[in-house]
Amino acid sequence: MAANNRKGWKVLTPELNPYTPGAGRRPTALAGRQIEQDSFSTTLRRLRNGPGASCLLVIGLRGVGKTVLLNRFARLALDQDWIVADHEFDSRTDLVATIATLARQALLEMAPPSTWQKAGKRTARALHGLKATYSLAGLTVSIGGSEAAEPGVADSGDLSRDLTDLLVSLGEAARDRGTGVVLLFDELQFAQIEPLGALVAALHKVGQRELPLTLVGAGLPQLRGVLAEARSYSERLFSVIEVGPLSQDAAYEALVTPAVQAGADYDKDAVSAVLTFTEGYPYFLQAYGDHLWQEAAGPTFSLADVQRTEKTVRQALDNGFFRFRTDRLTPRQRRYLRAMAEHGSGEVSSGDVAATLGMTSSAPAGRVRDELIQKGLIYSPRLGRAAFTVPQFDDYLRRHFELEQHAPAQKNPLS
């Protein structure tokens, strides 16, 4: 507990700091996400009992706690004796090699090779077939025993069919062992279209056979479009969980409960000021609480404490959460984002961005827009429009970059 305060003394010790700003770090109070946890638990129970259930998508902006939720799902699955295999994607991820690695991991967690039943042996043969057919970028998938590639098992050269062979056999092996397998994929919007389509087809067949294997994919809002491009029926295979900023009550709980448990508290005006600044985004709440704990005397945080700490919090977010995203931009990409920021935090049309840049044609702006979507900095909520994937990014851009005006006659102001 925090010690009793004497005037002018700091009583909040660093080791008791209950706030956990960081990528995917579990907060002390996982507030406002019970519905999502219940949905996932229901999925596992349905798969275990036979009627089947949809795979899940967790969709949201940066900083809303998607990775935290995936980690919580992993814990819930392990508590129900499921096997968990997870991976965070980026633009370089080889999806086929990743699936092979995770399938190998899951199969070995089920049982040692000497005890495999028919489905387990078929999974091993499918892994060997994938390795032989696709080379898997040098990945070794051997798992011991004498199981060699079997002609006709995951070696057709048709990726959809071969991944289906692998995942169906893995689901059957899990069913034989009285368990299940859950694949947890973060940043799934970075998956390449062709292998992602093959994965969706494989999951479709797994679902039709009511096998205890499922996928939870987390990603930015453009993940919907990526999946639709990968397979036309993707929307019928996945149930979507929208994760956004916390409600007022949940944000209050996320901010205040950890402090109270650690021996501190907030006065009413202090809470109101923090919630206004953070707009209910979980990462911002953790960051503000963390800096208050470091800088204020305590044990009760006042409005004056919050106001004194705001500059430090803003600098920390600027230098960490925001800046590393702009550091990776080309000048024309940065100019595009700054022009978007001129229109606020909501969605904006490509034509309006082009006009802000002084362009007579929106085609060059459209090419930059596509690049920024690939980088995960913006998404297209509907045709011809764009919005930021990073909350409060517009405010950061306006504070740190000048809007560069261009003469309408200039051929390509983005180059």
* Same domain assignment for residues 294 and 336: no
pLDDT at 4: 46
Q: Are residues 237 and 260 in the same domain?
A: no
Q: Return the pLDDT at 115.
A: 83
pLDDT at residue 113 in the model:
84
Q: Tokens for 201, please give them.
A: 């087809």
> Helices 282-295 & 268-278, crossing angle to 10 degrees?
130
Rounded Cα–Cα distance for residues 362 and 375 (Å): 20
How far apart (Å, rounded) are the C-alpha atoms in residues 367 and 400? 24
CB-CB contact of 27 with 314 (8 Å): no
Nearest Cα neighbor of 250 from 295, 227, 292, 280 is 280
Same domain, 184 and 284: no
47 belongs to a structural domain = yes
Report yes or no on 112 lying in a domain: yes
Count up the domains in the chain and report the number.
Answer: 3
Which H, E and C letters describe the chain, residue by residue? Answer: CCCCCCCCCCCCCHHHCCCCCCCCCCCCCCCCCHHHHHHHHHHHHHHHHCCCCCEEEEECCCCCCHHHHHHHHHHHHHHCCCEEEEEECCCCCCHHHHHHHHHHHHHHHHCCHHHCCHHHHHHHHHHHHHHHHHHHHHCCCCCCCCCCCCCCCCCCCCHHHHHHHHHHHHHHHHHHCCCCEEEEEECHHHCCHHHHHHHHHHHHHHHHCCCCEEEEEEECCCHHHHHHHHCCCHHHHEEEEECCCCCHHHHHHHHHHHHHHCCCEECHHHHHHHHHHHCCCHHHHHHHHHHHHHHCCCCEECHHHHHHHHHHHHHHHHHHHHHHHHCCCCHHHHHHHHHHHCCCCCCEEHHHHHHHCCCCCCHHHHHHHHHHHHHCCEECCCCCEEEECCCCHHHHHHHHCCCCCCCCCCCCCCC
Establish if 27 belongs to a structural domain. no
Any domain includes 14: no
* pLDDT value at residue 146: 42
End-to-end CA distance of the chain: 58
Same domain for 175 and 118: yes
Bond preceding residue 299 cis, omega within 30 of 0 = yes
Q: Which of 195, 223, 242 is the last residue of a domain?
A: 242
Q: So what's the pLDDT on residue 365?
A: 83
The low-confidence residues of the chain, meaning pLDDT below 70, are: 1-10, 135-157, 405-415
d(CA 390, CA 394): 9
**pLDDT at site 53:** 85
Query: What residue has token string 């991820």?
Result: 93
Do both 307 and 339 map to the same domain?
no
Residue 6, domain member (yes or no): no
Query: Residue 360 sits in a domain of what CATH number?
Result: 1.10.10.10
Q: Give residue 137's pLDDT.
A: 55
Mean pLDDT of the chain: 88
Measured between alpha carbons, how far is 16 from 258 in angstroms, rounded to an integer?
A: 10
175 assigned to some structural domain: yes
User: Does residue 193 sit in the same domain as residue 224?
Assistant: yes
Q: Would residue 53 count as lying in a domain?
A: yes
The domain boundary residue, chosen from 298, 326, 354: 326
CATH at 237: 3.40.50.300
Residue finishing a domain among 224, 242, 260: 242
The pLDDT, as a whole number, for residue 114 is 82
Two tokens, residue 90: 């980026």
Asked if residue 205 and residue 312 are part of one domain, the reply reads no
Residue span of the structural domain in which 316 resides: 247-326
Residues 317 and 340 in one domain: no
Both 300 and 282 in one domain: the answer is: yes
How many angstroms separate the CA atoms of 322 and 316, rounded? 9
d(CA 199, CA 160): 7
Structure tokens at 82: 């499921």
Let me know whether 219 and 360 are in one domain. Answer: no
Residue 4 within a domain: no
Question: Amino acid identity of 244?
Answer: G
Are 108 and 178 in a shared domain? yes
350 and 311 part of one domain = no
CATH number where 288 lies: 1.10.8
